[in-house]
């Protein structure tokens, strides 16, 4: 399990449940390394702002990580973390390696309509 304050996806069942229960989902699949930790930090920061998005992480070395690792959208990925954005259970965007706050916000705003608090 990753040492973050995000919701952790710990099994295949939890993965399905999160996708079934939430229209907009962002899952960051990584380790506790230098390219991954900043992305978790940004997600923790954005969690309060984007109340319409479910933010979660998944340990890259867990048995259920194949759910992200083997997605066709991640086929060419060669850098941690693999971050995948789902709408209604379908992948709408996926990125490989570290991303900045601005890059993540751009994707969230493009893919999910923000609900003003």
Partner 1 sequence: MRNYNFDVIIIGGGAAGLTAAIYLSRARVNTIVLNEGTAGGQMVLTHEIANYPGVENISGYKLAGTMKKQAVSFGTEIRSNIRVTGMKLDGEIKTVEVNDKEIYSANAVIIATGGKSRTLNVPGEEEFKGLGVSYCATCDGDFFRDKKVIVVGGGNSALEEAVSLTKYASEVTIVHQFDHFQAFEHAVKEAEENPKISFIMESRIAEFVGDEKLRKVRIENQSTKEITEKDVDGVFILIGYVPNTAKLRDLIDLNSAGEIITDANMRTNIEGVFAAGDSIQKRFRQITTAVSDGTIAALNAAEYIHYFKTQLQAV
Q: What is the DSSP secondary structure assignment for residue 78, as one 8-state letter?
A: -
**Closer Cβ to partner 1, 37 or 107, answer by number:** 37
Residue 30's alpha-carbon distances to 38, 39, 71, in angstroms, are: 11, 10, 15
- Minimum Å gap between C-beta 13 and partner 1 is 28
**Closer Cβ to partner 1, 11 or 96, answer by number:** 96
- Minimum Å gap between C-beta 80 and partner 1 is 5
Residue 25's alpha-carbon distances to 34, 36, 78, in angstroms, are: 23, 18, 22
Q: Which residues of this protein are in contact with partner 1, per CB under 8 A?
A: 3, 31-38, 41-42, 45-46, 75-80, 95-98, 101-102
């Amino acid at each position: 399990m990753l040492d973050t304050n995000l919701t952790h996806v710990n099994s295949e069942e939890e993965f399905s449940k999160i996708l079934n229960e939430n229209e907009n989902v962002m899952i960051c699949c990584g380790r506790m390394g230098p390219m991954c930790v900043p992305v978790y930090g940004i997600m923790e920061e954005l969690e309060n702002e984007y109340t319409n998005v479910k933010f979660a992480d998944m340990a890259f070395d867990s048995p259920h990580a194949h759910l992200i690792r083997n997605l066709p959208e991640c086929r060419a990925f060669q850098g941690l973390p693999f971050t995948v954005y789902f709408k209604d259970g379908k992948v709408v965007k996926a990125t490989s390696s570290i991303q900045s706050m601005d890059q993540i916000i751009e994707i969230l705003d493009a893919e999910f309509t923000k609900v003003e608090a």
